[in-house]
Structure 1
Amino acid sequence: MDLYQKIRTIPTQPGCYLYKNAEGEVIYVGKAKNLRARVRSYFLDASQANAKTGSLMREAVDVEYITVANEHEALALENNLIKQKKPRFNILLRDDKTYPYIKLTLSDRYPKVFVTRRLRKDGSAYFGPYFPGNLAYRLVDLIHRTFLIPSCKVDLSRYHPRACLQYYIKRCLGPCVEGLTTPEAYRQTVRDVQLFLEGKPNELEQSLTTRMEEAAETQQFELAARLRDQLVTLHQMQDKQRIATTDNEDADVFGYHYENEMLAVNLFHMRGGKIVDRRDFFWEDLPEFLSETLNENPDEANPNLEPNPKVSAPEIDEDAPAALDIVQHTAVSELGGTFNPAEFFSALLKQLYLDQSYVPRSVLVPVEFPDRVILAELLTERTGRRVEILAPQRGEKRSLVDLVCQNAKQSYDQRFRVLQPSIKAIQEALQDALTLEELPRRIECFDISHIQGAETVASMVVWEDGAMKKSDYRKFQVKTVTGVDDFASMREIIQRRYKRLLDDNKPFPSLILIDGGLGQLHAAYAALEEIGVTLQPLASIAKKEEIIYVYGQENEPVVLDRRSPVLHLVQKIRDESHRFAVTYHRKRREMRDRDSELLAIPGVGPRTRQRLLEHFGSIRGIKQASPDALTAVVSTATAESIRAHFDTESKATALPVLND
């Protein structure tokens, strides 16, 4: 049965579907309310234009499915299948760090207490996870000293001839030797430990107090003293908890930073209103998680990478071509993809929380994602208390998410940028990559900024001996070019800059870097050639492709690995030149607005002009304002003058130009 025929047999129930390749490997697992509609939607042209879906459908030759009762079960099954099969087209949790739990082996004859990082269905009670990680070890140590429950590897299913050192230093009740303790007393102590770990101090305090008084009455003073010490420890723990818990809110807060197909995610754990620990996650080489939203209407764009099940797929005819032939026309490699945080956080939260025994009351994420409500409901059912997954847009919670995103950016820099070779090693690598004659000690980078040719400006930033040298930054107004002409603008600026260096007999930089492609590169060289400079090293970096063109070897552009420190250096310099150019351009526009044509209108002076600009925001806003809107700021006569001025101007620009 081929793929088309199999799709007809898929039921309309909720469940999970598994796409397989020619080798029988599961390459993608998904869930759906309606399995048939979801699977058929993968054959839509718009779905296959998506970079990920197109790649998936070129490899898929078979599909299997598992039906379940509802969407909650589908969500849980999807998570289990992804962890089992590890499909290439699913986002996988690649962090091997797990937080510790405290394990109480209730199924044993004499239960022990351990720190563990694995949850098993072995009849034991698990408590946690604990943040930070050493908290679990400190609590187990406290249990040893206070409740005398052991964590040794001694086989307690039988008695031994003598006890170990832990018994003699008062760290164990000695269940390994017959007669040192009784099963009833040991079970009572285990119950106390359970109450302690379950966070039921009142019930534990009442039990300890009653037994301490009974022991004192029967003159069992050693037992009474031990119970008294346990009460003191319990009171100390309660006091510390009251001090730390002002807000009494448990929350996990996520943030991320994505760049160059590499991703850093930070997770902050808040317990009792305080940040107690953090986790770092990193993903490299994420091309299969890129998505392309081809829908021009953003309100209709599906934030999930999967096809939209609400859009009906075409009926499948008997004579339809093979599945692989459908997508041959889709040039996925030519589509520009962007990281889809919605799908990523949907997959990440499922893998993090669905198998956990403890989930905090609130989970804060930086973006909305499709499964958020369903996942929160499922976690609420599993934990027995309400769990909220929120994507805050404003307020304190949004500020907290932004803080975690800032930390994710720092983690990204640490992982992919800061931990890099020395400056000299980078300089040598740059010299080798661009075939420079000497070590690049000084780089000057140029960028042009304008809005449709208006207020065209340029910037020059300087990198020298491993750092940006802001004292040498320069900004330029383009004087001889009108309209949109980046090449002519670059030519003017380069010529002005280096003609002055020649006239002042100052040294040239090791490398001139241009923000742009081959056109800007050739324009810069033409400017240098006009002033007689022909041996100056010159290169440009194209924004989209991140390809470096070196003048003289344009047919062999330099394509560096996206994790290369050399590429990161060039990008850093390029981004700084762009930032500096845009900042200067904005200042020029503000100056232009201050000296606007409003002053030429009768009845409009500096103060009136200022009020109009503050009220309408710009000259364009004033031009589009009706007379009634203008009278809210100025008098009726002045409003009529302003309206007449702009009406005359618009009529003049609308007149046809007659050629002789």
Structure 2
Amino acid sequence: MNEKIQSVLNSLPHKPGIYIMKDGQGTILYVGKAISLYNRVRSYFQESTDLSPKNRSMVAKVEDIEFVVVKNEVEALVLESNYIKEYRPKYNVLMRDDKSYPYIKVSLTEDFPRVYRVRSFHHDGNRYFGPYTNSGAVDATLDLLNKLFAFRTCRYDASTWAPPAQGEPPEGWRQKLLPRPCTQYYIHRCIAPCVAYATREEYDAVIKQVILFLEGKHDEVVKSLQEKMQAAAENLNFEEAARMRDRIQAVERVLEKQRIISTEGQDDQDVIAFASGEDETCVMVFFFRNGKLIGREFFILQGTRDSSPGEVMASFLQQFYESSPHIPPELVVEVEPDDRAVIQSWLREKRKGPVTITAPKRGDKLRLVEMVKQNAREVLEQQRIKWLTDSQKTQLALEELQEALNLAAPPQRIECYDISNTQGTNSVGAMVVFEAGRPKPSEYRRFKIIDVDAGGLSNMQFTEASEEHERHDHSASDGTPTDAQLQHDWALPDLIIIDGGKGQLSAAMEVLQELQIDIPTVGLAKENEEIFIPGSPDPIILPRSSQGLYMVQRIRDEAHRFGITYHRKLRSDRTFKSVLDEIPGIGPKRKQALMKHFGSVRAMGAASVEDLAALDGMTRDAAEKVKEYIGRGE
């Protein structure tokens, strides 16, 4: 700890505020809030504090700390949100590309308002709906709205089309209309206030219906359209009545989709749950208005490794509702967010009304949360697959790796090795293969490691070691494949990635040198996402926005995912394997009955033969064998 940091720690007040941690170049690493700046900031530098790997990495880089004192926790939360949005610090949990999410804007401050897509939300007297994550879906919604309600889409100055709704026109005002309506009028997509085919009052009624629709109040929209249809029919305007009928049917088709999922009562609520990957989390939000599901959106949070569920939820609520134009009276969440009371108070101030954050433990709300969480899992998997198959990003990533690692060509075939173990037992090696940046599951391999020393890789013995040796041992001493190698199904990789830092990389290089294999090999340290290369004391650090870094992370994560599933299976098999498996005549059903009744092998050994034989499906002969085999084990 340098003197500058020590000086700051000594001057921290016992007051609420935010703290800003910076590195030696003045770059903001992290922004946090605290009830007591003195207690919170000092906790990072106390030896007794058990920091997460991410926080340890951050603290090692901190060269300066600034702080801002505020009146209360809510002010601290607001200021923290503003700093995170402005500076997007590396060690904060961040919503990916939050500035690019689109909104639907109803320009109420304009004469004859328009309805269109924008990229930012302001408190400027207009109505905003969103944010949405899918621009295509926003455009489709706008197209549907325009078909249903026929509002203008032009950018003409409409201030001269009609006198003001209230008060006298400004001095010198005179009505100026366009000479003729555009095509939109003739295809029934606009009611043409530009040529006075519609009054201001009639046009305002259209915009009111648009807002009701976007608010999810579709029943009110249908009722209004039905009244217009009936009035048109009574006036013998059957063409207009038919158009109203078609609009009603279109709205009801939307309603049918919403009736599949609805909540009790007529409440507005957002239901929020998430699914996490290695360093990203997909947060799914279902929007219920008047008890009906009107839409759903998902958001990707970055930098969530080592973050608790409560921290993830709190970070999302802050970032999402800070830029959301609508806050419902109830948020139903998967887990209670950290600083729940502070966030709830902040939301109440923003909404200017009551807001409750609920984390249900049972009942219908819990079932809704579980449904939303399942959707989050599916989206996270879709995002993973989508990235893996994105050829343009893939090619860029391979070229970045070629340049960063000084390779002769983009690495078309990459192998990544990962080891999973629990306190030295059930050690598992996993290898995944990527070709042209895409996974090749048919060549994935798992290895049960019989013996692993502290060095990790150097003494690996795999159950599939013969395949590995056959693949590599036929290489020539200079690392080029021989005829025998070329006849094998597997090709040598252009790049090997080892999940680990310098130690794991050194062990891997020893193995490769013993086998006389010359393949570019790197280690990827998970804690700081640093890439180590043999013979270099300093790691390569790719920019966070680098597609190359994103690729090696994804390959590493895929190896970890592939290995951990096998590791869990081995651990499960080991847990349930017992002396009962060795007893003739004791099959799965009898084993299950014995374990269910007695609970343990020790309890069976203490039981009499009569007690064992009395179980359903057991015989005296089987009971005597159980006693005999358990007795041998003891």
TM-score by length of 1: 0.60
> What residue number does 2:586 align with?
607
8 Å CA contact 2:112–2:204 kept in 1: the answer is yes
Offset, 1:76: 4.4
Structure 1 segment 434-473 matched on structure 2, within 5 A? 468=440, 470=442
One-letter code of the match for 1:507?
Q
> What residue number does 2:101 align with?
98
The reply on whether 1:244 has 2:257 as its aligned counterpart is: yes
Offset, 1:400: 3.7
Offset, 1:267: 4.1
Structure 1 segment 35-184 matched on structure 2, within 5 A? 37-38=39-40, 41=43, 44-47=46-49, 49=51, 51-52=54-55, 55=59, 58-68=62-72, 75-76=77-78, 78-80=80-82, 82-83=84-85, 90-93=92-95, 94-105=97-108, 110-117=111-118, 118-126=120-128, 132-135=137-140, 137-138=142-143, 141-142=146-147, 145=150, 152-156=156-160, 158-166=173-181, 169=185, 171-172=190-191, 174=193
Instruction: Give deviations 1:425-478, integer Å, cap 9, x for gaps.
Output: 969978996989x99999999999998898999899888898748489797997
The alignment partner of 1:245 has SS state of helix
The alignment partner of 1:63 has SS state of strand
The reply on whether 1:265 has 2:282 as its aligned counterpart is: yes
8 Å CA contact 1:102–1:136 kept in 2: the answer is no
CA 1:554/1:593 → structure 2, altered by over 3 Å: closer, same or farther?
farther
Q: 2-side partners of 1:213 and 1:442: how far apart? A: 68
CA 1:359/1:524 → structure 2, altered by over 3 Å: closer, same or farther?
same
The alignment partner of 2:102 has SS state of coil
8 Å CA contact 2:579–2:629 kept in 1: the answer is no
Instruction: Give deviations 1:322-367, integer Å, cap 9, x for gaps.
Output: xxxxxxxxxxxxxxxx355542432222121134232467767665
The alignment partner of 2:253 has SS state of helix
Instruction: Give deviations 1:633-656, integer Å, cap 9, x for gaps.
Output: 556999899679767755xxxxxx
Q: 2-side partners of 1:488 and 1:632: how far apart? A: 49
Pairing partner for 1:490 from 454, 457, 461: 461
One-letter code of the match for 1:137?
L
CA 1:523/1:378 → structure 2, altered by over 3 Å: closer, same or farther?
closer
Q: 2-side partners of 1:395 and 1:212: how far apart? A: 40
Instruction: Give deviations 1:100-130, integer Å, cap 9, x for gaps.
Output: 324242x56x442332534444444456667
> What residue number does 2:266 align with?
none
8 Å CA contact 1:119–1:126 kept in 2: the answer is yes
Instruction: Give deviations 1:159-199, integer Å, cap 9, x for gaps.
Output: 2444343389574564787xx87xxx634652563255235
CA 1:243/1:491 → structure 2, altered by over 3 Å: closer, same or farther?
closer
Q: 2-side partners of 1:441 and 1:19: how far apart? A: 42
Structure 1 segment 173-322 matched on structure 2, within 5 A? 174=193, 186-187=200-201, 189-191=203-205, 193-194=207-208, 197-198=211-212, 232=245, 235-236=248-249, 238-246=251-259, 247-248=261-262, 251=270, 255-259=274-278, 263=280, 265=282, 267=284, 278-279=297-298, 281=300, 283=302, 286=303
The alignment partner of 2:157 has SS state of coil
8 Å CA contact 1:547–1:558 kept in 2: the answer is yes
8 Å CA contact 2:432–2:439 kept in 1: the answer is no
Offset, 1:254: 5.1
Q: 2-side partners of 1:451 and 1:416: how far apart? A: 30
Q: 1-side partners of 2:428 and 2:28: how far apart? A: 54
One-letter code of the match for 1:193?
I
CA 1:48/1:607 → structure 2, altered by over 3 Å: closer, same or farther?
closer
Q: 2-side partners of 1:421 and 1:624: how far apart? A: 60
8 Å CA contact 1:457–1:584 kept in 2: the answer is no
8 Å CA contact 2:272–2:333 kept in 1: the answer is yes
Instruction: Give deviations 1:542-562, integer Å, cap 9, x for gaps.
Output: 685699999xx6678996959
Offset, 1:581: 7.1
Q: 2-side partners of 1:442 and 1:212: how far apart? A: 65
The alignment partner of 2:370 has SS state of helix
The alignment partner of 2:98 has SS state of coil
Offset, 1:153: 2.4
Offset, 1:411: 1.8
8 Å CA contact 1:17–1:30 kept in 2: the answer is yes
8 Å CA contact 1:56–1:89 kept in 2: the answer is no
Offset, 1:133: 0.7
Offset, 1:248: 3.5
8 Å CA contact 1:251–1:269 kept in 2: the answer is yes
> What residue number does 1:403 align with?
375
Offset, 1:99: 3.1
Instruction: Give deviations 1:358-380, integer Å, cap 9, x for gaps.
Output: 24677676655314565456546
> What residue number does 1:622 align with?
601
8 Å CA contact 2:17–2:33 kept in 1: the answer is yes
Stretch of structure 1 that moved more, 573-582 or 407-416 = 573-582
CA 1:468/1:583 → structure 2, altered by over 3 Å: closer, same or farther?
farther
One-letter code of the match for 1:398?
E
Q: 1-side partners of 2:90 and 2:429: how far apart? A: 45
Stretches of structure 1 lacking an aligned partner (at least 5 in a row): 291-337, 529-534, 600-604, 651-660
Pairing partner for 1:370 from 324, 338, 349: 338
One-letter code of the match for 2:211?
L
One-letter code of the match for 1:16?
G
Q: 2-side partners of 1:631 and 1:353: how far apart? A: 67
One-letter code of the match for 1:141?
N
Q: 1-side partners of 2:574 and 2:420: how far apart? A: 12
CA 1:474/1:507 → structure 2, altered by over 3 Å: closer, same or farther?
farther
One-letter code of the match for 2:257?
A
Taking every aligned residue pair, what percent have the same amino acid on both sides?
17
Superposition RMSD on alpha carbons, in Å? 6.3
8 Å CA contact 2:417–2:431 kept in 1: the answer is yes
TM-score by length of 2: 0.62
The alignment partner of 2:116 has SS state of strand
Instruction: Give deviations 1:501-560, integer Å, cap 9, x for gaps.
Output: 87xx9437654979765456646765x5xxxxxx4447877685699999xx66789969
Q: 2-side partners of 1:6 and 1:569: how far apart? A: 43
Aligned residues: 560
8 Å CA contact 2:130–2:324 kept in 1: the answer is no
Q: 2-side partners of 1:56 and 1:445: how far apart? A: 28
Instruction: Give deviations 1:562-616, integer Å, cap 9, x for gaps.
Output: 935884697489659847975996798699758845x3xxxxx423786246643
CA 1:611/1:134 → structure 2, altered by over 3 Å: closer, same or farther?
same
Q: 1-side partners of 2:229 and 2:420: how far apart? A: 81
The reply on whether 1:345 has 2:313 as its aligned counterpart is: yes
Q: 2-side partners of 1:384 and 1:414: how far apart? A: 41
Q: 1-side partners of 2:130 and 2:432: how far apart? A: 53
CA 1:419/1:372 → structure 2, altered by over 3 Å: closer, same or farther?
farther
The alignment partner of 1:163 has SS state of coil
One-letter code of the match for 1:358?
H
Stretch of structure 1 that moved more, 352-361 or 121-130 = 121-130
Offset, 1:67: 0.6
Determine which structure has more spread, i.e. the larger CA radius of gyration. 1
